Amino acid sequence: MVRADIGIYGLGTMGSALALNLAEKGFDVAVTNRDADEIFDIMREADALAGKLHGHEALADFIVGLKTPRVILFMIPSGTPMDAMIEMVAPLLQAGDTIIDGGNANFHDTRRRAAALAEVDLHFVGMGVSGGEKGARHGPSMMVGGTAHSWEQLEPMLRAIAARYEGDPCVAHLGPDGAGHFVKTVHNGIEYADMQMIAEAYAIMRFGLGMRAGDIGAQFEAWNKGPLRSYLMEITGEILSYEDGDVLFVDLIRDTAGQKGTGRWTVIEALQMGQSASMIEAAVAARSWSSEKDLRERLAAQYGAQREAVSVSLEQVEQALMAGRILGYAQGFRILQQAAEAYDWPLDFARIAQIWRAGCIIRSALLDDIAEAYTAHSGVRQLLEAPKIAGKLKGAMPGLRAVAGAALSGGHAAPALTGAVGFYDSMRQGSGTANIIQAQRDFFGQHGFERLDQEGRHHGPWWESEA
């Protein structure tokens, strides 16, 4: 009997697509699923690849059907199902075997699982897989965290199935335990912010500039040929071209956004590390507020829902999206830098930008500049300090300012774009307003502060007058 190179447990959309991708690249893939129907479905569907796919209904047969040391990829819902599977599978494995969680798991869980399995000489890989079903089937971007041993087992397979950017496979071993899942989480946070800013730009164009939706779609498509080129820009252009009879298809979709947690986790982790991902938070908040549709409808009746016409040019909207995107990425990379220090991960920021250039949801032309900004010899500490990025941001800021200002005065909700301006203005002030905060803290709580003109810790004269 042929022993498979890898086993895949979980034949939902992503698991099946990855199994077919691996089989197509010549690897023997053992597949199984909790519900056996999916095994029959994939075996039927796989027809031409059937010789490379080996379906097993029993877990024990699936495990015996793998080459040792084994590699088992789980594509199942994150959270408790993963713990349950580890409990079931681990006793059937041997030292040196690797379990991979390819879902959008919380990296804290991944760290806990990796540590627990290391105790019994098993390896646990947290792998972020981006690109949706099409990506998984024809070339995803993959962010891998785990031991060097696991990477050695996985590298040839993952390089073979990954998306390629000018020949370079979009996969990398980013560090131990939770590094891969953390980077995927931040990827999703950036995804949230970019999606939100595109939605805000759409609203300003449609309700502030009075453009027809089809024309907005065409505009996005045109921008997608320039510096804003990105997958999210491309699909939004396409989405806006769909009509159902005389009605624009998006107008038939209830405006309440779902979210599975990765955006929120990005924000939580940023705050935990003393950072702020304010634009990602704005995007998470916008989704949360959107889900309160009944309340929004009542408040619309109470306060009025009018939005005024705005006078901004399409060039300014384009600039706003570019500046917003730069600032969104900058917030994402700041979190990655902070996490690299906090968890002692050797994150290679240039490599992360490189593997996001194809296959994943946030792929965009800007990632080329980001990869270049972080190359080892550049000495750039923060993305916003990189000369080429700074040049682009300075050029685009007037547009962002104009659009954010118009949104504010015209009553158009644009929490991510307006928040981006706040972030930019805060970070470019060498002298800010935190002296007032420090004075207030000292006034009510005697917290003390540092002075610019003297060493040491001080209190304000407000305490002396009370003495």
> Which are the catalytic amino acids?
184, 191
CB of 289 to ligand 6PG, least distance (A): 15
CB of 428 to ligand 6PG, least distance (A): 31
Residue range at the interface with ligand 6PG (CB under 6 A); choices 80-88, 127-135, 151-159, 327-335: 127-135
Q: Using DSSP, state whether 99 is helix, strand or coil.
A: strand
Q: Using DSSP, state whether 170 is helix, strand or coil.
A: coil
Token duo for residue 310: 């705005």
Site for ligand 6PG in 178-207 (CB under 6 A): 188, 191
Distances (CA, A) of 278 to 80, 256, 286, 330, 467: 30, 21, 12, 11, 41
Site for ligand 6PG in 294-333 (CB under 6 A): none
CB of 288 to ligand 6PG, least distance (A): 12
CA–CA separation, 134 and 85 (whole Å):
26
CB of 260 to ligand 6PG, least distance (A): 4
Which residue, judged by CB position, is nearest to ligand 6PG in the bound state?
130
Of these, 132, 411, 422, 448, which contacts ligand 6PG (CB under 6 A)?
Answer: 132
Distances (CA, A) of 239 to 226, 252, 325, 365, 420: 19, 12, 20, 21, 26
φ/ψ of 95, rounded to 5, equals -50, 135
DSSP secondary structure string, 369-395?
HHHHHTSGGG--SSGGGSHHHHHHHHH
**Which residues lie below 8 Å from residue 372, measured CB to CB, with a gap of 6+?**
350, 378, 386, 388
Of these, 91, 210, 258, 461, which contacts ligand 6PG (CB under 6 A)?
Answer: 258
Q: Any contact of residue 360 with ligand 6PG (CB under 6 A)?
A: yes
Q: Any contact of residue 130 with ligand 6PG (CB under 6 A)?
A: yes
> 17 or 154, CB closer to ligand 6PG?
17
φ/ψ of 137, rounded to 5, equals -75, -40
Residue range at the interface with ligand 6PG (CB under 6 A); choices 114-122, 130-138, 288-296, 336-344: 130-138
Of these, 212, 260, 381, 459, which contacts ligand 6PG (CB under 6 A)?
Answer: 260
DSSP secondary structure string, 278-325?
HHHHHHHHHHHHHT-HHHHHHHHHHH----------HHHHHHHHHHHH
CB of 264 to ligand 6PG, least distance (A): 8
Q: Any contact of residue 378 with ligand 6PG (CB under 6 A)?
A: no
Contact track, ligand 6PG, 78-107, x by CB under 6 A: --------------------------x---
Bridging pattern class, strands 457-458 and 449-450: antiparallel
Cβ proximity of 75 and 102 under 8 Å: yes
CA–CA separation, 347 and 458 (whole Å):
39
Is the peptide bond prior to 69 cis by the omega test (within 30 degrees of 0)?
yes
> 38 or 191, CB closer to ligand 6PG?
191
Q: Any contact of residue 131 with ligand 6PG (CB under 6 A)?
A: yes
CB of 427 to ligand 6PG, least distance (A): 27
**Considering CB under 6 A, how many residues would be counted as binding ligand 6PG?**
13
Of these, 277, 347, 361, 420, which contacts ligand 6PG (CB under 6 A)?
Answer: 361
φ/ψ of 126, rounded to 5, equals -100, 115
**Which residues are near ligand 6PG by CB under 6 A?**
104, 130-132, 188, 191, 258-260, 262-263, 360-361
